[in-house]
Amino acid sequence: MSVTVETQVIHAEALKKVVGYKAVDDYVRSGMVVGLGTGSTAYYAIQRLGQKLQEGKLFDIVGIPTSTKTERHAKSLGIPLVTLDSHPVVDVAIDGADEVDRRLNLVKGRGGSLLREKLIETEARKLVIIVDDSKLVEGLGMTGAVPVEVIPFCWRHTMRRLLGLECLASCNVSATIRSENENIYVTDNNNYIVDLFLEKPIPDIVLAAQQISEIVGVVEHGLFLNMVDLCIVSGKDGTRVIE
Ligand code: 5RP
């Protein structure tokens, strides 16, 4: 790695740490049920939460992890964990995102955890999204995939149905089944992920979200619409909160 690239990586990590720590410091209070997001930015929020619990600066916290990876991380820090079954109301959830638009609509799931993230974050009284400013976009789906979790049974058929959607007809859409080490990637829920790639912005994201959900083999998609209460954004000029 050259010195320049190394410096950029450190800088990117620093931006993630700032927002992760700030989310916990500003929005988590003792006694809360906390939704724990997944990804390299949410990682820092979980670190901070674990640290504050260990230092006695927060107490009576329980966390609800949005993936098995986050579950392992939280357990390693001694964060007590519960599920929505026993704790259906989440006081605050903190998570990263792949893209954030002006209205705080999101693309999530490039890390593969969109189903549990949406399940838990839908129940959050306050959903706090933490990103660096590279995630801010004009139109969703332009910097990478829009992930869709599908059942493995007849996934090629489900993928064809996604490609045939009227609402994506103007987007020059293509699709791949997500893979890992030359095998199909399997989610925490034993499903697959179809990644949709768009060359042009989705004209109506609400309609697209609805039509994608209506396909029978689709379990959930990575368009998170009208869910976010606030977004903490870090950049070279500091940190700001968008509400
Ligand atoms: C995982 C997600 C992540 O929140 C998203 O991929 C952002 O991750 P990172 O903070 O590592 O960029 O949706 O399913």
- Under DSSP, is residue 99 helix (H, G, I), strand (E, B) or coil? strand
Do 172 and 129 meet the contact criterion of CB atoms below 8 Å apart? no
Q: Is the CB of 221 under 6 A from ligand 1?
A: no
Catalytic residue, candidates 71, 117, 149, 220: 117
Known active-site residue 117:
yes
**Distance, CA of 129 to CA of 185 (rounded, Å):** 26
**What's the gap in Å between 173 CA and the centre of ligand 1?**
22
Residue 81 β-bridge partners = 63
Do 35 and 120 meet the contact criterion of CB atoms below 8 Å apart? yes
Angle between helices 42-54 and 68-76 (to 10 degrees): 30
In tens digits, the chain (243 residues) has pLDDT values of: 555 556 666 699 999 999 999 999 999 999 999 999 999 999 999 999 999 999 999 999 999 999 999 999 999 999 999 999 999 999 999 999 999 999 999 999 999 999 999 999 999 999 999 999 999 999 999 999 999 999 999 999 999 999 999 999 999 999 999 999 999 999 999 999 999 999 999 999 999 999 999 999 999 999 999 999 999 999 988 999 999
**What's the gap in Å between 241 CA and the centre of ligand 1?**
19
In Å, how far are 77, 198, 214 from 201, measured between CA atoms? 41, 7, 21
**Distance, CA of 241 to CA of 24 (rounded, Å):** 14
- Under DSSP, is residue 124 helix (H, G, I), strand (E, B) or coil? strand
**What's the gap in Å between 65 CA and the centre of ligand 1?**
14
Nearest to 42 by CA among 160, 151, 128: 128
Q: Is the CB of 113 under 6 A from ligand 1?
A: yes
Amino acid at 70: T
Angle between helices 42-54 and 3-27 (to 10 degrees): 50
